[in-house]
Structure 1
Amino acid sequence: MPSTMKILPVTFALGMSPAVYAELESITDGELSSVTGQSGLTIDYSGRMSMQEFRYENDGKYVAEEIRSGGAGVTTAGAAAGYGENFDDARLTFDVATDGGLDILWQSQSGQPMDWGFSTGTVSVGDGEPGPRTRIYADIQSWGLLRTSQYSVLPAAETGLARSAVYNYAAFTVESLSSSDTPGTIGLQGGYIKSPDFMGNSLDDMNLTDQIPAWAGGQRARSTTPMDDLRAGFAAAEYTVYPLSAGEQGAPTDTIAIGVSGFAADIGVQNLSVGQGDLGRMTLDNLQVSDTIITLTP
């Protein structure tokens, strides 16, 4: 959900009055370089968002309807837990790093985790032609806590990939994930994503724990490390997105690559069903992924 808030700076700028624009002065390249590595724009935010439909079409069609996002209170379970509907206590910082990259960082104003929530009425897919679509999910509701989220645009010299790339890191939980078990859809009840030591397992005993300190892209704008976040009860994920040209690294066509530096979490669903057929409980304990590349071909 926080990624949807990246439109805020544009909205903020468009909303400025002519009088404010009149006070702005041009900045030379030399003046701009002097602010590199210093604090950039900071926005304190509280709000929620709704959308009637999100549609993505290529050879096929993916459609999500009746979308709501904000605080945990936009979901039934989050409201019952006492949370409000706004994604609030949130601070968004834009910073130009010393390496020339742009860092966009979500953190809380109070230092406490930010509650988030997301719901959508139906998710369906189709073959791109007019006519009925196949429903996959109905009434998805999810809420959790966000400790930090970072999105950085890195120059080629920083990525080591001979190209610019987008770096992402998040420390988060999914406290509750559910979807209705209506005919023909996937039903979920009691879903969660939390730190690998959520069930009392020691992080130090995990096979890949020694790789976790290598995460974090030189730490960049954050004040916490992945181990800090995992020990605080959050799942952690770090990945980089970059383009591959046809023929590069075996890519058949122009491709998007996702390089997963690391992911660590406990994942579970108390009850999983398909078409109202009960499949039982699923748990993935001490799940870790590292040094993995996923390619997406349009």
Structure 2
Amino acid sequence: MRKIIHIDMDAFYASVEQRDEPSYRNKPVIVGGSPQGRGVVAAASYEARKYGIRSAMPAIRAIKKCPHAIFVKPRFDVYKEVSQQIRAIFDEYTDLVEPLSLDEAYLDVTHPFTGPPSATLIAKEIKHKIRTRLDLVASAGVSYNKFLAKIASDLDKPDGLSIILPEEAEAFLRSLPIGKFYGVGHATQQKMEKLGIRTGEDLLQWSESDLAAAFGKAGHHYYYLVRGIDDREVKPHRIRKSVGKERTFAEDVTDLDWIRTFLTELAGKVAESLQRVGSGGQVGAGGQVGAEDRLGDDGQVDG
């Protein structure tokens, strides 16, 4: 049986800022754009989250919720460097590391290079090394597949370590809200709830054929997931499926000719990015109206 760990850094961007600037510690820190413009919250410290501030929230709304919050511009070069230092710790145990973003990754420690044979003890060691070497805090989830390991890492944040054993999975999944299942987004969740599917217990009542009829190929995925079956491998080299560029304007733009010109320039920058990463493919340009509809308050960019 496989041993999978999911590591998720706690409020990563904000925690790095609090680490590097001691005066920010124990204070509500918001990493993102200026509340004077159309900035968006990229990350919020746990002190800021107490005021209801979440990633992807418009900065102007965040400052209303917490007027004394400290706004900090993102330093992505620093976050990337710290992420590489965290990755170096992972690499001490296994070469089967699948980064999902700068602040989270899967590790397959079924056959670790070093350390204890227990995935739980390895997770404890990794958390300890991240804290002592980098002065940062991570949460970890341990289980026998990726889905359950990721769910486990979110059970006891911050600084948590949770394990879901094979014999515990069935009961755990029965009580799990449907929105927590991998691959169930907001729209799918709404559809499921209309069909009376609100928990894993409800999902278990559906046959594989009925789920496929209602949700297409994803229906097969849901059928096995609720039974604790997730055969996805930890892939060290994930194929990048998309490259994008975006821009938020300080004021509303209504000149369609200007917008078309700007989108053409933006598409050109995307094409340059594709060339740099050695990818082919097509480049398309599109616009979005209503940023608050696109980025809901409960969206999560940074754990």
Output the TM-score relative to the length of structure 2: 0.23
User: Does 1 or 2 have the higher relative contact order (CA < 8 Å, sep 6+)?
Assistant: 2
Higher strand share: 1
Higher-helix-fraction structure: 2
TM-score, structure 1 as length reference: 0.23
